[in-house]
Amino acid sequence: MQLDAYSQWRRYIALIDSDESTGLYIVVSRLQVPTFLHFLSLSLPVKAFSSVQHIAHRFRMGRSSVPIVDILLLFCLVAVSEAGYLKYKDPKQPLDVRIQDLLKRMTLEEKIGQMTQIEREVATPDVMKKFSIGSVLSGGGSVPAPQASPETWVKMVNDLQKGSLSTRLGIPMIYGIDAVHGHNNVYKSTIFPHNIGLGVTRDPLLIKKIGEATALEVRATGIQYAFAPCIAVCRDPRWGRCYESYSEDPKIVRAMTEIIPGLQGDIPANSKKGFPYVGGKEKIAACAKHYLGDGGTNKGINENNTLLSYNGLLSIHMPAYLDSIMKGVATVMVSYSSWNGKKMHANRDLVTGFLKNKLKFKGFVISDWQGIDRITSPPHANYSYSVQAGVSAGIDMIMVPYNYTEFINTLTYQVKNKIIPMSRIDDAVTRILRVKFIMGLFENPLSDVSLVNQLGSKEHRELAREAVRKSLVLLKNGKSAQKPLLPLPKKAGKILVAGSHADNLGYQCGGWTITWQGLGGNNLTEGTTILDAIKQTVDTETKVVYNENPDANFLKSNKFSYAIVFVGEPPYAETYGDSMNLSIAEPGPSTINNVCGYIKCVVVLISGRPVVIKPYLPKIDALVAAWLPGTEGQGVADLLFGDYGFTGKLARTWFKSVDQLPMNVGDKHYDPLFPFGFGLTTDPTKY
């Protein structure tokens, strides 16, 4: 409701208090009954307002003998005595008072609307208003326009927000996006290394800074919520999401939860255990995902079954959630996967019993994309059951994302028919409102363009470059320890750069970059390819020759001082990345064999996980695992040419053969090619 309209209504009430006859005359003469009822609906709890509506209906139908003046007087007196003013809109009121004041005013339809998250493709201001939608998201690659500017993003988010604010109660929506390695959906944003590389750094302070930078870039586009961090403990690199995991070791994953206070702000010293915290307009709500055991599925198959004892589940996959909750994480996302055959989206014992009751988590639990549909096999086979099972398990916000009316209608029916108790709905809405109030969305629902210069800023790109330097692992350096090849000399006659990944920004960034599955090529966003970084780093007299896959004749006819070969995996995400062989994509193997058979060579692997490398190792002089470094390829050149030294240590075991998998540090028959924690070091070169 507009502030001036509410103020006018308050003046009517004041007139009634001071002069009953004059006040009633003004109300009767200036207010239509429907308008009056709208004002009154804001002042009364739902039950009281329903009674008022009933009386008004009887009057309009001619079934009431009570004079309209008396009815209006009654309405006014009740409104004044019941509410006085809207407590939930007063930031000076205690949090619980605001939540309960708003909750008691809400209808069932408004509550279920708050539990619904829809995709921006189907969201409009009218939809937000009509269904009281609580949240909107951008799925991977869902953008307001190709190469959209931050101003375009802000306008889109604000337009939807205005739809929410025009509802009867004016509850702001929260907009979510997968900002999993920087604000990765957005053109010209800073793309940080994926988590598999960040785990190598073992540097919580660096990870916190990345969280701070990401929060600023997300807020630059008007968005307030990121589905990050992924705190999965990947136990099998065949999993297509392994690059979203910091490590196979729960201790490293726990340390990396320091990204949460980076995204949200440092939790105040006097905060209650389990309560969410988001510290102002430059911070965003975070989301710990995917609860629980997503990184432990059988054979690494995405969304599969984690076969593990209860103690194993708690000791490997649960610890990082405890840290996240202690750091005030606002939301937790449930995993598609199952634990010993039980779908996590339907696991009430772990979602409500453990997360909410035992760990005292007070933020809200959100489903994954169409997550409740996948409770059944095939998905959506019994939607009524899926809604009942998911909501009853303790999921508070449902990522629908398209068929929202089906969800709303199904859940409404189940509550009205007492299949799902109203107490479960109230718990869900209480948690959602708690996060929105804590974030300050009621006071500052609309975004501005004051932070647009943060997107892809020089400072953030320098931070990403530092992260790249600290994330690379040197696995081999020379045919013998006495003759290291790295760091490479900047001054040389002619050097060869080869391989499919040398001049490909999309391959550097991997999946979840601009689109869901990622893209190849150099046109997806702004950044520095590794080839360009090499050209900028070597001496001006050094000739750099690039040939993606040179043949023997080319190699023989040129006198190269040395070669750098960049090979690895193409971009992928989730199930599309599941791999049972973990081989280097062609023509990678042939490039290694051709080049390293003729020239002294460094092979740099651009991949989301360890891949099969043992067969090629004898030919390779030096080997570097660069993971998925993101847009700042200069960080790779910084190490290759000795401006900085290698320091990274493997946060994952590197297998000899896929037949050994799964294999993790501490296993009984542990026989890796490169063990967990391995990494050669070099000293910076003084030029």
Active site residues: 368, 574
Query: Residue 117 is encoded by which pair of tokens?
Result: 């998250």
Q: Which of 120, 113, 244 is nearest to 179 (CA)?
A: 244
Cα–Cα distance for residue pair 209/215, rounded to 1 Å: 10
403, burial (CB in 10 Å: exposed 0-12, middle 13-18, buried 19+) = middle
Q: What is the 3-state secondary structure (H, E, C) of 64-101?
A: CCCCHHHHHHHHHHHHHHHCCCCHHHCCCCCHHHHHHH
Give phi and psi for 295, each to the nearest 5: -85, 0
* The one-letter amino acid at 14: A
Task: Give yes or no for a contact between 495 and 479, defined as CB atoms under 8 angstroms apart.
Answer: no
Cα–Cα distance for residue pair 186/75, rounded to 1 Å: 51
Cα–Cα distance for residue pair 648/473, rounded to 1 Å: 5
Other Cβ atoms within 10 Å of 651 Cβ, number: 29
Determine if the peptide bond prior to 237 is cis (ω within 30°).
no
Q: Which of 230, 253, 242, 112 is nearest to 178 (CA)?
A: 230
Task: Give yes or no for a contact between 611 and 568, defined as CB atoms under 8 angstroms apart.
Answer: yes
Residue count of the chain, please give it.
Answer: 687
Cα–Cα distance for residue pair 378/76, rounded to 1 Å: 55
In order, the DSSP letters of 213-253 are HHHHHHHHTT--EE---B--B---TTSTTGGG-SBSSHHHH
**Own/partner long-range contacts of 92-101 (Cβ < 8 Å, ≥24 apart):** 95/434, 95/437, 95/438, 98/433, 98/437, 98/442, 99/430, 99/433, 99/434, 99/437
Cα–Cα distance for residue pair 112/309, rounded to 1 Å: 36
Estimate the share of the chain in helix, then strand, then coil, as percent rounded to the nearest 5: 45, 10, 45
Q: Which of 234, 214, 233 is nearest to 224 (CA)?
A: 214
Residue with tokens 């009057």: 59
∠ Cα 390 393 395 (to 5°): 65
Cα–Cα distance for residue pair 226/223, rounded to 1 Å: 8
∠ Cα 532 538 539 (to 5°): 135
Q: Is 332 helix (H, G, I), strand (E, B) or coil?
A: strand
What's the Cα-to-Cα distance from 675 to each of 583, 610, 653, 655, rounded to whole Å?
19, 11, 5, 8
Task: Give yes or no for a contact between 455 and 221, defined as CB atoms under 8 angstroms apart.
Answer: yes
In order, the DSSP letters of 414-479 are HHHTTSS-HHHHHHHHHHHHHHHHHHTTTT--S--STTGGGTT-HHHHHHHHHHHHHH-EEEEESS
Cβ contacts of residue 43 below 8 Å, gap of 6+? 79, 82, 83, 86
